[in-house]
């Protein structure tokens, strides 16, 4: 399969979290497809709940939208109650998976080691992976943000080869900015993205770091997307709340280059 990056094409991703019935999902996906039909210089990804994947897959057929799961198991089948395998995601029409979202970490107690297993399993199955990392407010205020992020990146990527990095995207999502209406400033986000890219160039060769897409997530809205996307190390966004409204997400997809 071809790599996920192409000269860091902007990737605009919508995470619908635990929202939408199949009918609502179809309507929203069709509206998003209509909003991005003519865009060819950026990628668009939608992550509906598992139950709506097939419906969304049908609704976006013929568009270039990438369909994604919100999580994925590292095993193909077996006694893993409540989990969804890479093959099941692909069967439902998805070719990507979000892994390590802060809600998985904070609410469901997923550890870096568990998240690493998910990353490895998804890559083994040729899925594209969006690995999320991000510090809490306490950690940032204690001056520990970069340490926390370094751990999350190092452990999350343990065993991931440079070749597999072509099918991986990182998403920096400060926990204090998710769903709070409080966005990192563009300077804070850029500084953190540059730190993560620097770390990647230590873990891999520089060209891997240079080509890796790093998304920003945390209260991205039509009103702040342009300035965020103007930052040199921000290669896309992962959007929660504003992705549930077709007009808002359409404006985010069609961000304006400053
Ligand atoms: C997210 O779900 O990853 C997210 C960033 O949510 P919100 O845009 O609502 O802050």
> Would you say how long the chain is, in residues?
258
Q: What would the pLDDT profile of 23-60 be if each residue is shown by its tens digit?
A: 999 999 999 999 986 657 899 999 999 999 999 999 99
Q: Looking at 119-222, which runs of residues are DSSP E strands? A: 128-133, 168-172, 214-217
Q: How far apart are CA 119 and CA 144, in angstroms?
A: 24
Q: What would the pLDDT profile of 107-149 be if each residue is shown by its tens digit?
A: 999 999 999 999 999 999 999 999 999 999 999 999 999 999 9
- Residue 8: the pLDDT is 93
> What does the pLDDT average to over 198-211?
96
As a whole-number percent, the residues of the chain with pLDDT over 70 amount to: 96
Which atom from ligand 1 is nearest to the alpha carbon of 219?
A: 10
Provide the mean pLDDT of the chain: 94
101 is catalytic: yes
Nearest CA to ligand 1 atom 2: 240
Can you name the residues that pair with 182 across neighbouring β-strands? none
What are all long-range contacts of 230-234, with beta carbons under 8 Å and residues at least 24 apart? Answer: 230/186, 230/257, 230/258, 231/186, 231/189, 231/190, 231/193, 232/190, 232/194, 233/190, 233/193, 233/194, 233/196, 233/197, 234/189, 234/190, 234/193
> What does the pLDDT average to over 141-163?
97
Q: How far apart are CA 18 and CA 47, in angstroms?
A: 10
- Residue 183: the pLDDT is 82
Residue 233 pLDDT > 70, yes or no?
A: yes
Measured from CB, residues less than 6 Å from any atom of ligand 1 are 15, 17, 173, 178-179, 217-220, 238-242
pTM: 0.95
19 is catalytic: no
Q: Which conformational region is residue 20 in: left (phi greater than 0), alpha (psi within -120 to 50 degrees), or beta?
A: left
Q: How far apart are CA 85 and CA 53, in angstroms?
A: 13
> What does the pLDDT average to over 187-210?
96
> What does the pLDDT average to over 60-85?
97
> What does the pLDDT average to over 164-173?
97
**Candidate of 135, 220, 222, 248 to mutate for ligand 1, largest count of ligand atoms within 8 Å of Cβ:** 220
Closest residue by Cα to residue 94 from 124, 56, 123: 56
Spot the catalytic one: 101, 103, 139, 193: 101
| Cα 229–Cα 230–Cα 236 angle in degrees, nearest 5 | 20
- Residue 106: the pLDDT is 95
Nearest CA to ligand 1 atom 7: 240
Spot the catalytic one: 103, 139, 173, 193: 173
> What does the pLDDT average to over 87-96?
98
Domain ranges within the chain, ordered by starting residue: 2-253
Q: How far is CA 20 from CA 15, 80, 141, in A?
A: 11, 25, 35
> Cα of 102 to ligand 1 centre, how many Å?
9
Name which of 19-33, 129-143, 172-186, 200-214 the model is least confident about. 172-186
CB 246 within 8 Å of CB 65 = no
- Residue 165: the pLDDT is 97
Q: Which of the four pLDDT bands, split at 50, 70 and 90, describes residue 203?
A: very high
Q: What is the CATH number that goes with domain 2-253?
A: 3.20.20.70
DSSP tag of 217: E
- Residue 6: the pLDDT is 47
């Amino acid at each position: 399969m071809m790599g996920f990056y192409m000269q860091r094409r902007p990737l605009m991703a919508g995470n619908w979290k635990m929202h939408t019935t199949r009918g609502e999902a179809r309507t929203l996906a069709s509206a998003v497809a209509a909003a991005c039909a003519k865009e060819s210089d950026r990628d668009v990804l939608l992550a509906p709940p598992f139950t709506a994947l097939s419906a969304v897959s049908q609704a976006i057929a013929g568009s270039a939208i990438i369909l994604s799961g919100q999580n994925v198991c590292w095993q193909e089948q077996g006694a893993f109650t409540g989990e969804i395998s890479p093959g099941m995601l692909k069967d439902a029409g998805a070719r990507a998976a979000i892994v390590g979202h802060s809600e998985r970490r904070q609410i469901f107690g997923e550890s870096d080691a568990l998240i690493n297993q998910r990353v490895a399993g998804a890559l083994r199955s040729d899925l594209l992976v969006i690995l999320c990392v991000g510090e809490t407010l306490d950690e940032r205020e204690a001056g520990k943000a970069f340490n926390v992020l370094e751990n999350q990146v190092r452990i999350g990527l343990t065993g991931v080869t440079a070749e597999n990095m072509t099918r991986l995207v990182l998403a920096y999502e400060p926990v204090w900015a998710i769903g709070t209406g409080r966005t990192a400033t563009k300077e804070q986000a850029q500084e953190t993205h540059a730190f993560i890219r620097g770390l990647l160039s230590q873990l891999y060769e520089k060209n891997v770091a240079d080509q890796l897409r790093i998304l920003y997530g945390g209260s991205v809205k039509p009103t702040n997307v342009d300035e965020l996307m103007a930052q040199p190390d921000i290669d896309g966004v992962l959007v929660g709340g504003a992705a549930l409204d077709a007009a808002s997400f359409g404006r985010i997809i069609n961000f304006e280059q400053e």
